[in-house]
Amino acid sequence: MVALARSQGSQPSAEDQDDQDLFAADVVGGLQASPKRVPAKYFYDDTGSLLFERITDLPEYYPTRCEMGILRTQAAEISKLIPQGAALVEFGAGASKKARILLKAAPQIAAYVPVDICGEMIEREAAELRPDFPALKVLPVTADFTQSFALPEEVSTAPHVGFFPGSTIGNFEPHEAAAFLAHAGRILGPGARLIVGVDLIKPAEVLNAAYNDKAGVTAEFNLNLLKRINRELGGNFNLDCFEHHAFFNRERSRVEMHLASLKKQKAKVAGETVEFRAGETIHTENSYKYSTEKLAALARGAGWRPLKAWTDENNYFSIQAFELTDEPPPVRAAE
Ligand code: AVI
């Protein structure tokens, strides 16, 4: 998962400058709010993306392993829901590890359309996929998948199947998740199907361990946000004076990540001074955990009919398939 990718080189492009201005505005605005917060999408600079890759391999972080396991064991069943000549559209593609499993199991897929804001990465992944799937059209689209974008002309008449693995949907607020599902329906169009990976509610010990790994990689991932702010926004956060806090909030059905200030202190960011009380936190991420029924209800409200759901043997993670109904999904005011 890569949120903001910036081109190399000495002179930033106008687009890069806009991204940096938005980053500064989001961070300063979030740190001046109460409670303090910074959007989770800013975790994913180059270091953050590498740290996230390491998280997915941690013994305590079960989601990736569970999802890959379900994909492998249920690939043939999932494949049955994918029509002949389909275009598989992956939202926020990153590395295509999970898509590869579906592509192998469903040779009827005629085109793979990875969509990600990091064009460089999906082009690289596409180049690696093509020789392994010579009959497949690989058509990367560089776009922020939460915004409007057009599918390639070549797949305009193909049946569209969306793919949104990784429980990235859990990093949206529930109303945003519903809005995203409706948005996916509008992008994919009539007759579309959608395959979503979602992390399920489970005992707090399992969740707390997954976000507080013994090796400290999740803590490093969380604190890297302050490093990034220091580097890119002229911040002067002392990383030794903040601590990673993560816990399951059962009432809200989410794992919250925070950076807690270890003392009363001040920090500068983009020319602004921000004050912290001892123990005050910056809320950096929510990772919502769903029941299969709750996600199905959310999807129904966004115009999708649940077709099938698969879970692993522990019921830790689920992959759910949906079909777009004929009723048009509600139009988002922001679009
Ligand atoms: C990307 N996303 C689904 C991860 C999650 O579990 O919410 C991000 C993450 N944060 C801490 N560990 C992993």
Q: Would the CB of 298 count as within 6 Å of ligand 1?
A: no
Q: How many residues does the chain have?
A: 335
How far is residue 97's CA from residue 220's CA, in Å, rounded to a whole number?
24
The one-letter amino acid at 200 = L
- Report how far ligand 1's centroid is from the alpha carbon of 85 (Å): 33
Instruction: Report whether residue 1 contacts ligand 1, using a CB cutoff of 6 Å.
Output: yes
Largest CA distance in the chain: 61
State the pLDDT at residue 334.
Answer: 46
Question: Does residue 170's CB lie within 6 angstroms of at least one atom of ligand 1?
Answer: yes
Ligand 1 within 6 A of CB of 224:
no
pTM of the model: 0.93
Going across the sheet that includes 36-37, the strands are 36-37, 281-288, 254-261, 242-249
Helices (H) and strands (E) in the chain, counts: 9, 14
Q: Does the Cβ of 284 fall within 6 Å of ligand 1? A: no
Q: What residue owns the CA closest to ligand 1's atom 6?
A: 287
d(CA 14, CA 56): 34
**pLDDT value of residue 211:** 99
Q: Which pLDDT score, from 0 to 100, does residue 322 have? A: 98
The per-residue pLDDT for 8 is: 43
Q: What is the pLDDT along the chain (335 residues), one digit of tens a residue?
A: 544 334 444 577 787 788 899 999 999 999 999 999 999 999 999 999 999 999 999 999 999 999 999 999 999 999 999 999 999 999 998 778 999 999 999 999 999 999 998 888 899 999 999 999 999 999 999 999 999 999 999 999 999 999 999 999 999 999 999 999 999 999 999 999 999 999 999 999 999 999 999 999 999 999 999 999 999 999 999 999 999 999 999 999 999 999 999 999 999 999 999 999 999 999 999 999 999 999 999 999 999 999 999 999 999 999 999 999 987 555 555 44
Q: CA 327, 103, 56 angle in degrees (round to 5)?
A: 95
Q: Residue 153 has what pLDDT?
A: 98
**Closest Cα to atom 5, ligand 1: which residue?**
287
* Residue whose pair of structure tokens reads 């199905």 in the numeric block: 296
Mode of pairing for the β-strands spanning 242-249 and 254-261: antiparallel
